[in-house]
Structure 1
Amino acid sequence: MSRMGRASVTIYDVADAAGVSISTVSNALNRPDRVREDTRRRVLQAAQSLGFTPKSEAVNQARKGVGRIGVIAPFVAYSSYMRRLAGLLEVLNKANLEVCTYDEESAASRTSLLLSRLPLGSRLDGLVVMGIPLDDEAAERLLAASLPTVLVDSEDARFSCVVSDNALSGRLVARHLLDAGHTRIGYLTEEHEVAAHPQQGVQRSQAFAAELAAAGHPLELQRVVSTAHSVDAARVAAGGLLADGSLTAVAAHDDTLAVGVLHAAAERGLRVPTDLAVTGCDDGDVAAAVGLTTIRQPFEESGRLAATTLLELMGAEHPTRRTTVLRQDLVVRGSTGAALPATV
């Protein structure tokens, strides 16, 4: 009877498929330095195609030396992740590691289809996931593969994380607008699927609302509007916010949405900042170009920290999870007409 007919795949099946002895399979999984590179790759490919799952210790040993790091992020949808990638590449290129990027459609998706399909095991040494909240299924898949993983712009106690102090950014913007005398303030946020948890956006908006409430000017529900992540969608959504002429300021989730607010204000003949103050978040190139008051985030630094954290995880015998929180800074420009930055 062929071994391939057995209920579970064994090391013998892998040896047959790879055309090697079982001792070679064992060495490829446990002592890869004793096996030629082409043989080791053939064994790993056979093991993956057969669905053979050795002990996690053997998987870790076999993976060493592949030299490939995966990076998942919504690169096309958000330019900020390209800046994070630049910082990450700065570190990983010096380590002579190959970087494979995978573009996720949006950070506001219900779940990550890429994470459910991504080839783990012998294909990658490590993984960086940027801006994508992990559901339990995706997290368990990564943990089961014993793949060193770092999350950026998303928090999960099961993984090492590099995050921004989003609550601080919300408070800074709210305090800045309050100090400038604004009490009738609107908020434009990014819409997302009900089951998704874009933590950075929630933390930022909740802290913003809490700061206003503490000052005695609670953010009214009708003054909070969500929109798709594009300038034109934001322009239309902001038009609804500005329709009754009651607002003197609008805070947007990020710079892209803030530019939409600026367009909506121009369409209504509102002068910025005399009639309407506008703020964003991220401080990308567009913010400086249009004179937008915004929150400066250390994107390149977060990428560098993610890379160094991942390298430490890959090299540690007993890796320790940790979370690094990066501070945010308010950058004041003409869209709010204030001379001094707020402090919290």
Structure 2
Amino acid sequence: MKRPTIPDLAEAAGVSVSTVNRVLNEPGQVRKPTKDRVLHAAEAIGFYGLGTITHAVKSSQTTHRLGVLLQRGARTFYKNIGDAISRFAAEQDGVNIEMTVEFLEDLTPEKVASHIVSLGERVEALALVAPQHPLVADAIDTILDRGVPVVSLIGPLTAQGNISFVGLDNWKVGRTAAWAFDKMVREPGKIGILVGSHRLRNQEMNESGFRSYFREHNSGFTIMEPMTTYESAAVAREHVEQMLTEHPDMCGLYISGGGITGAIAALRNTPKRSDFVAVGYELFDDTRSALIDGTLSFIISHPMERFARETVTTMLKAKTGGREAGAHRVTFGFDIYTPESV
């Protein structure tokens, strides 16, 4: 087959040969919809100058340098968030987004604050998951003062400056988890709770909503003090094993924070009880299999594609709107999964 020529491309795009030449040589003189049409036609016919046309189209677009800072990349949940955000940014037509996604292994406030400042120097808007801490707040104010807007993900953050938020209504998450226990547990009893960190405000709000439901609807349950996993599966497993040993009469476990794979391993290592209910957070391969085999009873999860879309959209709004636009708050509904729905 002969190589497609400029006349072939013009015919495929439904434009004149002179228009194709202007796209190649004077892209600034051609309207964006026309350039997009020529680009799509070049992709379809395998035009030899595709790279030139792509550059011509993108060179006329404003480039947005966006950054996302997440916690440990080895955790499936955060890896899935990073992948979804990167994929959504890359798929946007008519906007050129340079997306930088980075993960933090050391979650001490000093390291988190240092990384916020470092990434904030390289991007024009920053979204992050971080604990609430004075050092973190100071780092956020540092980059806000440089004109870089900040969007907190999953859990809200506060600083002296305005911070946008994208995530779930965490108080509702906690009350929904409590509702699940209330409806599924046969006889009210003790419920254990795991949280990743008391400085992750989404988990604190989850617990607050969880307890408020039982105060309002069923005081027969005993809600145990939460145990901190520090987002570690190994620590979570130790805590669950300890709770099951010290409280054999537990009727349920609420895994509100990180380390759910460790909690699943501990539950699988004990004899199954038909009267025991476990509620977890986020759907991925490990939690899905735990639902199927009955280790978990109920999962509350972020709708990942919508989360990615709202994150990128909010970052662009915050960047283009400037300081005068104020903070943006975006909350959306969560997904619920049971053994019969996966």
The counterpart of 1:198, out of the listed 167, 177, 200, is 200
Question: Is 1:165 aligned to 2:169, yes or no?
Answer: yes
5+ unaligned residues in a row in structure 2: which ranges?
1-60
2:123 maps to which residue? Answer: 124
The counterpart of 1:74, out of the listed 56, 67, 71, is 71
2:337 maps to which residue? Answer: 331
Q: Percent identity?
A: 16
Deviations along 1:167-225, whole A, 9 cap, x unmatched?
Answer: 11211111111112242132232353xxx62011101112112222321135344x533
Task: Please state how far the C-alpha of 1:137 moved relative to its aligned partner.
Answer: 0.7
What is the Cα-based RMSD across aligned positions, in Å?
2.8
Return the alpha-carbon distance in structure 1 between the equivalents of residues 289 and 127 of structure 2. Answer: 31
Question: Is 1:216 aligned to 2:238, yes or no?
Answer: no
5+ unaligned residues in a row in structure 1: which ranges?
1-63, 340-344
Residue 224 and residue 321 in structure 1: after superposition, are their counterparts in 2 closer, same or farther (change >3 A)?
closer
1:300 maps to which residue? Answer: 305
For the residue of structure 1 that corresponds to 2:202, the secondary structure is helix
Residue 322 and residue 117 in structure 1: after superposition, are their counterparts in 2 closer, same or farther (change >3 A)?
closer
Contact 1:149/1:160, CA 8 A, preserved across alignment: yes
Question: Is 1:87 aligned to 2:84, yes or no?
Answer: yes
What one-letter code is carried by the residue in structure 2 that aligns with 1:175?
W
1:31 maps to which residue? Answer: none
Question: Is 1:251 aligned to 2:254, yes or no?
Answer: yes
1:288 maps to which residue? Answer: 288
Return the alpha-carbon distance in structure 1 between the equivalents of residues 286 and 258 of structure 2. Answer: 7
2:5 maps to which residue? Answer: none
Task: Please state how far the C-alpha of 1:316 moved relative to its aligned partner.
Answer: 2.7
What one-letter code is carried by the residue in structure 2 that aligns with 1:331?
Y
Alignment of 1:1-344 (within 5 A): 67-93=64-90, 94=92, 95-105=95-105, 109-111=108-110, 112-115=112-115, 117-118=117-118, 120-121=120-121, 123-133=122-132, 135-156=136-157, 158-180=162-184, 181-192=186-197, 197-214=199-216, 215-221=218-224, 224-243=226-245, 244-254=247-257, 256-257=259-260, 259-268=261-270, 270-272=271-273, 274-291=274-291, 292=296, 293-316=298-321, 318-333=324-339
Q: So what's the TM-score if we normalise by structure 1?
A: 0.67
Residue 264 and residue 315 in structure 1: after superposition, are their counterparts in 2 closer, same or farther (change >3 A)?
closer
Return the alpha-carbon distance in structure 1 between the equivalents of residues 127 and 97 of structure 2. Answer: 13
Contact 1:169/1:330, CA 8 A, preserved across alignment: no
Residue 328 and residue 145 in structure 1: after superposition, are their counterparts in 2 closer, same or farther (change >3 A)?
same
Highest RCO, 1 vs 2 (Cα 8 Å, sep ≥ 6): 1
Stretch of structure 1 that moved more, 151-160 or 196-205: 151-160
How many correspondences in the alignment?
263
Return the alpha-carbon distance in structure 2 between the equivalents of residues 328 and 199 of structure 1. Answer: 17
Residue 128 and residue 229 in structure 1: after superposition, are their counterparts in 2 closer, same or farther (change >3 A)?
closer
Return the alpha-carbon distance in structure 2 between the equivalents of residues 210 and 161 of structure 1. Answer: 24
What one-letter code is carried by the residue in structure 2 that aligns with 1:227?
T
Contact 2:140/2:150, CA 8 A, preserved across alignment: no
Return the alpha-carbon distance in structure 1 between the equivalents of residues 169 and 69 of structure 2. Answer: 21
Task: Please state how far the C-alpha of 1:232 moved relative to its aligned partner.
Answer: 3.1
Residue 304 and residue 191 in structure 1: after superposition, are their counterparts in 2 closer, same or farther (change >3 A)?
closer
2:35 maps to which residue? Answer: none
Task: Please state how far the C-alpha of 1:275 moved relative to its aligned partner.
Answer: 4.4
Q: So what's the TM-score if we normalise by structure 2?
A: 0.68
Residue 264 and residue 155 in structure 1: after superposition, are their counterparts in 2 closer, same or farther (change >3 A)?
closer
What one-letter code is carried by the residue in structure 1 that aligns with 2:137?
D
Return the alpha-carbon distance in structure 1 between the equivalents of residues 314 and 223 of structure 2. Answer: 41
